[in-house]
Amino acid sequence: MGFLLADFRSRNVNPESYDSKLRFWKDLVAAYCLFQGSSVVSLIRLKNAFRRKSIAPQCLMTVFDEMLMNGELLPKDQFLESSSSSGFGMKWAFEKIRRKMKGISESEEFVVQTVAEKHSQMIQRTVECDGLFDKLINYTKLVKIVEQSSNIVEEGIRPALKLLEKARRLTMDNVASGKQLHKVIKFFQPTVDAHPVAYIERCIYELEQCELDLNQNITKTEQAIAEIMMQVHAHIQEGHKQSAKSLLKKKRILESIVQSKINSLENLQQLLSRMHETQQNISILEAFKLGSNVLKKTFADSGLNIHSVENTLQEMRDVLEENNEVQNLISTVTVNDSDDLDLEQELGSLINMKFKENKVSIENDPQDATITNQINDFDAEILKRLEALKVNNIGLHSPLTS
């Protein structure tokens, strides 16, 4: 333990021991911040937290220097200040030079980057679970919600919100409600970049605050009426009729005030309902505009228009018509095979004659000699007909004899 609390030796002596001890303290600082629910630390705070037997860690200055050099630790004032504010660059340079010359002040507060990132993720999950996306939330109300759902304290909420604002996950603004200036926050869906709070959103927030104030006033007045009635019953029991009568008059006045506020509340709620509908209509109109622009760009990029479609369809009709004409021409071609057809018919008749003669000879059971004569006559008849089918060779010359 004494080795861990002691100051660092030169890294050249034992680099592995130096790096191991540095990594131990970095992890310990991050774990301490997560346990405390705040990413904001200071040297004096850590020394008091890690003091053992009245011995404070002497190595924390080196740990802070290393973390500052690596961007793991950032000064709280610079972290929470907007980079777009005037003089931000000059302040940052001045503080860096001052810190090199005088060292780190033990009371100066810093933000641990990794802890702030984890807290921002936890806050985003809380917002998603509670359905708070795309709504204006009062900062005080958000702090209560986060503290109830996690161990993050208000000191740790501010750096986490600043990280989300830099990442364009939320917008922070001030909205006037009556005589008070409210700090409001609007979280955006992960797929949507943050944008400034719209005028209609400011109006809706102001009306919602008025509605909340009216409800609170009505509740307080009704409680006052209930207390008056208790006093009236007490006076009646004691026989103080005049006191009871005066209290009843006061009760009626309060009841008329309550009724007036209830009427105002109903009118305000109707107005709020219409404004919410208007906001939804604006969102729908923006979606229509976006879709129209996307379609126009798609048509322009692809060259898709009425003329191109008509030309393409006409070309398709011409191609189909030409294809039909080609098919019709091909189907009209016929082969003159009338001679072959006559030959086939005559050959078929001869075969039928042979079958008939064979059938007759089998039924009559003739002698062998008779059968032989019939076969010879049949063969002679076939030869005679084949001679008639021979092509006349007169006038034809063989290519071998020419």
Same-domain pairing of 117 and 2: yes
Q: Which pLDDT belongs to residue 125? A: 95
The residues, ordered by sequence, that sit 6+ positions from 155 with a Cβ below 8 Å of its Cβ are 38, 40
Residue 319 domain flag: no
The average pLDDT across 194-211 equals 89
The average pLDDT across 11-24 equals 88
Same-domain pairing of 22 and 137: yes
Residue 62 domain flag: yes
Same-domain pairing of 353 and 228: no
More confident residue, 384 or 372: 384
Q: Give the tens place of pLDDT for each residue, 57-73.
A: 888 888 998 998 898 99
Q: Please give the C-alpha separations between residue 336 and each of 333, 339, 341, in angstroms, as whole numbers.
A: 10, 8, 10
Residue 154 domain flag: yes
Same-domain pairing of 57 and 155: yes
Residues 171, 152 contacting (CB under 8 angstroms): no
**What DSSP assignment string belongs to 253-289?**
HHHHHHHHHHHHHHHHHHHHHHHHHHHHHHHHHHHHH
User: What distance lies between CA 238 and its chain's CA centroid?
Assistant: 70
The residues, ordered by sequence, that sit 6+ positions from 375 with a Cβ below 8 Å of its Cβ are none
Q: Which pLDDT belongs to residue 133? A: 92
Same-domain pairing of 152 and 59: yes
Over the chain, what is the mean pLDDT? 83
Tokens (6 digits) for 382? 């076939």
Q: Give the C-alpha separation, 206 to 140, whole Å.
A: 16
4 in helix, strand or coil? helix
Residue 98 pLDDT more than 60? no
Last residue of a domain, one of 167, 185, 219: 167
Q: Please give the C-alpha separations between residue 372 and each of 73, 268, 312, 357, 380, in angstroms, as whole numbers.
A: 126, 127, 80, 12, 12
Residue 199 domain flag: no
Residue 102 domain flag: yes
Tokens (6 digits) for 168? 């364009």
Last residue of a domain, one of 281, 296, 311: 296
Q: Which pLDDT belongs to residue 91? A: 57
Residue 6 pLDDT more than 60? yes
Q: Please give the C-alpha separations between residue 38 and each of 85, 153, 195, in angstroms, as whole numbers.
A: 25, 6, 28
Same-domain pairing of 16 and 150: yes
Residues 262, 221 contacting (CB under 8 angstroms): no
Q: Give the tens place of pLDDT for each residue, 230-254.
A: 999 998 998 888 889 999 999 999 9
Query: What is the rounded (10 degree) CA torsion for 73, 77, 83, 89?
Result: -90
Q: Give the C-alpha separation, 129 to 185, whole Å.
A: 17
User: What distance lies between CA 388 and its chain's CA centroid?
Assistant: 93
The average pLDDT across 182-197 equals 90
User: Any idea which of 11-25, 80-94, 139-153, 234-248 has the lowest mean pLDDT?
Assistant: 80-94
The average pLDDT across 110-125 equals 95
Same-domain pairing of 133 and 226: no
Last residue of a domain, one of 261, 278, 296: 296
Same-domain pairing of 1 and 58: yes
Same-domain pairing of 34 and 134: yes
Residue 376's domain comprises 344-389
Residue 197 domain flag: no
The average pLDDT across 11-21 equals 87
Q: Give the tens place of pLDDT for each residue, 354-365.
A: 666 665 555 555
Count of domains observed in the chain: 3
Could you tell me where the beta strands, DSSP code E, fall in 239-348? none
Q: Which pLDDT belongs to residue 2? A: 66
Q: Give the tens place of pLDDT for each residue, 27-48.
A: 999 999 999 999 999 999 999 9
Same-domain pairing of 278 and 367: no
Same-domain pairing of 156 and 249: no
Residue 359 domain flag: yes
The average pLDDT across 88-108 equals 63
Residue 119 domain flag: yes
Q: How confident is the model at residue 55 (pLDDT cuts 50, 70, 90)?
A: confident
Residue 101 pLDDT more than 70? no
Q: Which pLDDT belongs to residue 191? A: 87
Q: Which pLDDT belongs to residue 370? A: 54
pTM summary value: 0.64
